[in-house]
Amino acid sequence: MPPKAKKSTAKRARSPETQTDADAGGAKKCVKKTKTEAEKEPAEDKPLTGKFDIYPMELSFLKSVYLPSGESNPQFAALYKTILKYQAKPDSTGRCLLPETGAKPGRLRTPLRDPMEEMPWDISIEDIELVDKLVFTAAQRKDFITPPTTGAGVSGRTALTEDHCGVSSASGVFRMKLAWTGEDGAEIFEGFLSFNVKYSGLYKRKGHGSGGKLEFPFWAVRARKGDDGKEISLSRQTVAP
C-alpha cells in the first residue's frame, strides 16, 4: 500500500490542504448519477460515530473499480467489495475514531511519522461538528473522482494530541459524510483530510527537514471487527507505513 511518508516535503498520499481555500473555480465535469443496483441514495439513519478505515481516492486499484473505463455511473457496490478485501489483510492508509459526542476530540492515524520515534503521529480531530450540508472547497473537490454527494456530515480540524518539543505547529482539516448504502448494512463514506506538521529547530538541526504534509480525498468504511465482534481499536492496528 502506501510508501513511507517523506520528511520535509509536502506529500500527497500516494497510497495512503490547506486549512483555508477559496471556494472558487470550476468543479470537475459532472458525472451523471442514476439509481442502480450498485448505487443507492445514502440513508442517513446511522450516526457518524465509531471507528473507520480510510483509503485515498487516488489509489489506482480503487479508482478503476469505482469508475471503470466507459462507465458513467460510479460502482459503489464493487468498490465496497474491493475495499473489504484489502481491509481483511488488514491493510488501510489511515484510521479514525469519531466519538459519540462532539465535546470529545476524535483520533486519526496516518502514515506520517515522528522521524525521531519512528511512530505515527498521535493526531486528534477537534471541534467536531455535525452539519446538515457538508461542503467541500474547490481545492478539496478537485481530486474527487466524481463530484461529492450532498448531505449531512462531520467537520473538524486536525492537530497533535499533545505539544511536542520537535514541532513548531501542526494543523489541518477533517471532513466526512455518508456517500452510499447497500445491502446488509454496507456503507461507504467519502471525505477529505489534511495534516501539516512543521518541525522546530531541534528536529531541523538533527537533519529531519522542515516537516511533513498529507492531504487527500478519501473513501472510508467502518472498521474491521475482531474475533470478539467489536471494531478493532486504533491502538491494536496500525496503518501501513
Answer yes or no: is pLDDT of 13 > 60: no
Residues 39-81 pLDDT 10s:
445 555 677 999 999 999 999 999 999 999 999 899 999 999 9
Residues 204-240 pLDDT 10s:
988 888 999 999 999 999 998 877 877 887 754 444 4
Domain annotation covers residue 39: no
pLDDT of residue 238: 44
Residues 72-116 pLDDT 10s:
899 999 999 999 999 988 778 899 999 987 678 999 999 999 998
Domain annotation covers residue 155: yes
Domain annotation covers residue 90: yes
**In whole angstroms, what is the distance from residue 182 CA to residue 37 CA?**
9
pLDDT of residue 16: 39
Smallest CA-to-CA distance from 175 within 239, 240, 220, 233 is with 220
Domain annotation covers residue 201: yes
pLDDT of residue 198: 95
pLDDT of residue 6: 41
CB 83 within 8 A of CB 59: no
Domain annotation covers residue 189: yes
Q: What is the rounded (10 degree) CA torsion for 211, 21, 72, 39?
A: 80
What is the maximal distance between C-alpha atoms in the chain? 57
Percentage of residues of the chain with pLDDT beyond 70: 77
| Domains of the chain: total | 1
Does this model's pTM top 0.75? yes
Domain annotation covers residue 27: no
Domain annotation covers residue 34: no
Domain annotation covers residue 30: no
What domain range is 70 assigned to? 50-222
Q: What average pLDDT score do residues 132-143 get?
A: 95
pLDDT level of residue 167 (50, 70, 90 thresholds):
very high
Smallest CA-to-CA distance from 160 within 205, 223, 105, 202 is with 105
